[in-house]
Amino acid sequence: MWSRESSIDIDTSAARVWALFADVAGWPAWNAGIARIALHGPFHDGSVFSMQPPGMDAFDSTLVEVAPERGFTDETVFGDSVVRVRHAIAPRSPGRVRVVFRTEADGPEAARIGAAASADFNDVLQALKRQAEQSADGRHDFDFLHGAWQVRNRRLQRRLAGCTTWDTFDARVTCRPLLGGLANLETHETDWNGGYRGLALRLYAPHARRWSIHWANGDDGVLEPPVIGGFDGDVGVFEGEDLHAGRPVRARFTWTRLDAVHARWEQAFSADGGASWETNWVMDFARDA
């Protein structure tokens, strides 16, 4: 069996590297050896992806040993030879991981095919490091939201009152970046309940690596107290203090990046300091065609 191993230390979380691994369509952003790629199914054991290097024919590989936040292996058959590449994530210290690409090949052409398959892995790992650490900076966390969206809202009629009745309505949302990515502005418009407009202003503090999110509605034009937090992988959680019906509550926003054209926002309140939460508003985003 022929083998080769390349590794690099990255100042980010295992969850962030895993998010880059699981986003197969995004691999070309950090792997210049990919011209086209498509995953046929979920990022699970047994799924197949088709990949085409620049100037070469496409081939199919199979995912095996997929372990979230620990790594995965892909296996490719070339005639009578088989190449397996293990992409491992190993925590080194808080905020730092080591990523290891181990290539193994069996068969009559193992040395030639294995060497060709792994020839650019040092460059790929350097690009992965840049991508992961740039993302860890956080200023690009909300890039997925830029543009125009159609949004289906579900809003609890009464909050923190044991209510189980929800209003459902549609809204139009746009988001644009400001200050070179350190901020963005999101506007909401809906015809529901006589018409409603609002905006979200998000500001990123690079040194703290934290976002603050402020909301204002079209009725009073007052920025509400911010919720503060950040993303871990595709989920962002932001919390802060607020008032509801004159009493203090803790507010939590949860953003989930579902895929390139779908996202979800949820708002929850806690009246007991975070011991329990009631979700009172859910927005399902679908990118405007």
Residues 115-152: tens digit of each pLDDT = 999 999 999 999 999 988 876 678 888 999 999 999 99
Question: Which CATH number is 2-137 given?
Answer: 3.30.530.20
Report pLDDT for 204. Answer: 93
Residue 289, pLDDT > 70, answer: no
Write out pLDDT tens, residues 19-70: 899 989 889 989 988 988 999 999 999 999 999 998 889 999 999 999 999 9
Closest CA to 65 of 117, 8, 7, 104: 104
Report pLDDT for 233. Answer: 76
Closest CA to 249 of 216, 224, 222, 220: 224
CATH topology of domain 143-287: Lipocalin (2.40.128)
Cα(174)–Cα(64) distance, rounded to whole angstroms? 40
Q: What percent of the chain has pLDDT over 90?
A: 70
Q: Where are the domains of the chain?
A: 2-137, 143-287
State mean pLDDT over 236-250. 91
Confirm whether pTM is higher than 0.75: no
**DSSP track, the chain:** -EEEEEEEEESS-HHHHHHHHH-GGGGGGT-TT-SEEEEES-SSTT-EEEEE-TTS--EEEEEEEEETTTEEEEEEEETTEEEEEEEEEEEEETTEEEEEEEEEEESTTHHHHHHHHHTTHHHHHHHHHHHHHHHHH-TTTTGGG-EEEEEEEEEESSSSS----EEEEEEEEEEEEEGGGTEEEEEEEE-GGG-EEEEEEEEEETTTTEEEEEEEETTT-PPPPPEEEEEETTEEEEEEEEEETTEEEEEEEEEEEEETTEEEEEEEEESSTTSS-EEEEEEEEEE--
Do the two domains 2-137 and 143-287 of this chain adopt the same fold?
no
Cα(238)–Cα(210) distance, rounded to whole angstroms? 9
